[in-house]
Structure 1
Amino acid sequence: MKQLILMRHGKSSWDYDVSDKDRPLQERGINDAHLVAKTFKLHAPEIDFAFSSPANRALHTSMIFTRTLNFDFNNFRVNEQLYDFSGGSVQHFVEQLDNRFNTVAIFGHNYAFTSLANTWGDQYIENVPTAGLVHITFGVDDWSKIAKGTTKQMVFPKHLK
C-alpha cells in the first residue's frame, strides 16, 4: 500500500516586492501550519520521505510540519518539479517515486493539489485551503500504478479553530 500526504503551503504574504518563489508566509500561515501539523501528528503514519517545492512559502510550511513530527531531515529533499500549479508536473513526480517509499509527504501549491486530491482521492474537495492537508491511500505497491485511492484524512485549518 502507498500513502501520499499532500500539504498546501500556508497563507503567504504579498507585502514584499519579491519574486513568487521568494514570497514568505504570513503569521496566519505559520500558525495554521503548526495547528495542522499538531493535529495530523495524533494519527500520522510513519513518513518515509518528504519533498517540498523550492518556493519559500512551501519550504517554510514543510519545515514547520516535519519538525512537529520529529522527522529525520536526512529523508527530506527540495524538488523543482513540485513548483507546479496545474498538477501535471506533481503527478509525474509522484508516479516516479522510489517504490522503497511507502508513505510520502509533499508540500506545494494550488491548483495542483486540489486537482490531484480530487483525481486520486474518493472525496470531492472544492478547494484545498492554505495549510490544508489531504492524506490519500492507494491499494498498490508501485507509485507508477496509483489511480483512484481512498481519502483517509483531511485536515483544514478552519475545522480546527
Structure 2
Amino acid sequence: MPEERQRRIVLVRHAKSDWPDVDDHDRPLAERGRKAAPLAGRWLAEHGLTPDLALVSTAVRTRETWALMAAELPTAPETVYDERLYDIGLGEQLIALLAETPDEVVTLLVLGHNPVVHEAADALADEADDEDQLARMQGRFPTAAIAVLTFQGPWTRVGPGAARLTAYRTPKDA
C-alpha cells in the first residue's frame, strides 16, 4: 500500500517566450525569459524545492526554461520530457497525469503552458497557508510563475480540492 506521506507539486509556467516566425512548438525564450528562468530555479533551491522528478513539455520554450532553472538546483533531478504536456487541453487532464507519478516521488515539478497550468493549480488548491497568495494565484499565472502545493497520501489520490497552496511566486516577486 502506498505510503501516507506528504507530497509536493511544483507547477511552473514556462518563462517569457519570443514570437519569431516558427511553429508554436519551436518558439524559443525571449531575453526576459532567459533572465527570469534562472531566478525561478534559484528560488526553488533557496526554498528546498529540488524535485525528485521533473515533467517538462517538449516545446522549445519549456525545455529552455527547464535547462536554465535546473542549472540553479543543488542536484539534477530526473527529467522526463512529455509530449502530453504540450498538447494537454484542460487542467483536469493535467491533474490526471499527476496521478501517474511513481510512489517514490515526494516532490514533482511540472513545467508547462497556460491556461492548463493555471487551471490545474486553481483546481488542486482547496486552501492555502496564505489566503492573499491564493487570491493572487487565482487571479493570474504569468510566465515563470510557480505554485507549490502539498497533499497527503499516494499520487493516485491527487485530485481537485486535494491540495493546499504553500507558496506562489512570480517574477515580479524576485
Q: What TM-score do you get using the length of structure 1 for normalisation?
A: 0.91
- Report the Cα offset of residue 158 of structure 1: 1.1
Structure 2: distance between partners of 1:18 and 1:88 = 29
Partner of 1:145: 157
Check whether the contact 1:85–1:109 (CA below 8 A) recurs between aligned residues. Answer: no
2-structure distance, mates of 1:30, 1:70: 20
Q: 1:82 aligns with which of 82, 85, 98?
A: 85
User: Does structure 1 residue 13 correspond to structure 2 residue 18?
Assistant: yes
* Superposed CA offset, 1:97-121 (max 9, x none): 1111111111101111111111112
**What are the equivalent positions in structure 2 for 1:12-161 lying under 5 Å apart?**
12-14=17-19, 16-72=20-76, 75-83=78-86, 84-121=88-125, 122=127, 123-124=134-135, 125-140=138-153, 142-147=154-159, 148-160=162-174
1:42-93 deviations in whole A, cap 9, x for unaligned? 11234211110000111111111111103325x1110011112422432221
Give the TM-score, by structure 2 length: 0.84
TM-aligned CA distance change 1:36 to 1:120, over 3 Å: same
Count of residues in Structure 1 that have an aligned counterpart in Structure 2: 157
Q: Deviations over 1:8-54 (max 9, x none)?
A: 0011111x211111000000011111222212221123421111000
Which runs of no fewer than 5 residues in structure 2 stay unpaired? 1-5, 128-133
Q: Which runs of 5+ in 1 are unaligned?
A: none
| 8 A Cα contact 1:32 1:157, kept in partner | yes
Is the contact between residue 38 and residue 71 of structure 2 (CA under 8 Å) also seen in structure 1?
A: no
Q: Conserved in 1, the CA contact under 8 Å of 2:50 and 2:73?
A: no
Q: Is the 8 A contact 2:40 2:144 kept in 1?
A: yes
Task: Output the amino acid matched with 2:158.
Answer: I
